[in-house]
Amino acid sequence: MEISTLATYHCLAFVWYFFVAYSIAHIRTEERPSEVFLYGGQWKYLTVLNLVLQAVFYGVSFLADVLRLITKLRCAKCIISSRDLLFSVLAFPVSTFVSISFWTLYTYNRELVYPKSLDGIIPLWLNHAMHTAVLPFAVLEILATPHRYPAKKKGLILLGFVAFLYISWVLWIYSVTGEWVYPLFALFSPAGLAALFAGSLAIVISFYNFGEFLNRMIWGQSKFWF
């Protein structure tokens, strides 16, 4: 894909994610069901954090494209490296996990992840923007441009660290409020919850590996990534 076309795509994707994140962040306070927007507000939900992550990623990608057009790569390599690290370690595996896990649990029992009380507050298009569109966007990004993946050990350590931070945030909210971020967690014993978190991390790691596999299958082992 031509750099100018790629820059246009990344700019539009950034605007889209910024708009979606803005829309969910500015739901009127009086409309928010108290059982959902307690301590931590919407920032306790992985879905919302993922929207911010995607907006940051596409913003960095757009900046990298602009620098490539202006500087012929000399000043762009640092930004491109940041773009690739964001995509490989976080943007692709997290968005894939959010979409697949949400719709799997929603199909089984929506009250575990998305109470019916939200239907009158969050429009259907916004639900799909948060939980459905993130997956094709992630796949399209792999098709649009190659990404340099970090060494496996480094990538998994970074991914595990971010997962640890989010789990710590979830546990902190529970310690403060006595309520779980997702009703699903209340069904498990402490040992079962630990197993759930470990299993979820294993799934995210599998999505990381799958993204790396797709990137390699589509773009090969070329050393020219810029």
Query: Are 92 and 208 a contacting pair, CB within 8 Å?
Result: yes
Per-residue pLDDT reduced to its tens digit, 22-37 = 998 877 644 455 455 5
Query: Domain residues for 132?
Result: 3-26+39-219
Q: pTM value?
A: 0.90
221 falls in which pLDDT band (50, 70, 90)?
A: low
Query: Are 175 and 181 a contacting pair, CB within 8 Å?
Result: no
The more confident residue out of 29 and 113 is: 113
Find the mean pLDDT for residues 167-193.
Answer: 92
224 falls in which pLDDT band (50, 70, 90)?
A: very low
Task: Answer whether residue 191 shows pLDDT above 90.
Answer: yes
How far is CA 189 from each of CA 21, 45, 79, 196, rounded to the nearest angstrom? 33, 21, 44, 10
Has residue 51 been placed in a domain? yes
Question: 164-173: string of b/e by CB count within 10 Å (b at 16+)?
Answer: eebbebbeeb
Has residue 18 been placed in a domain? yes
107 falls in which pLDDT band (50, 70, 90)?
A: very high
Query: Are 135 and 100 a contacting pair, CB within 8 Å?
Result: yes
Has residue 101 been placed in a domain? yes
Has residue 207 been placed in a domain? yes
Split into its structural domains, the chain has a count of 1
Task: Answer whether residue 132 shows pLDDT above 90.
Answer: yes
Per-residue pLDDT reduced to its tens digit, 137-175 = 999 999 999 999 999 999 999 999 999 999 999 999 999
Has residue 182 been placed in a domain? yes
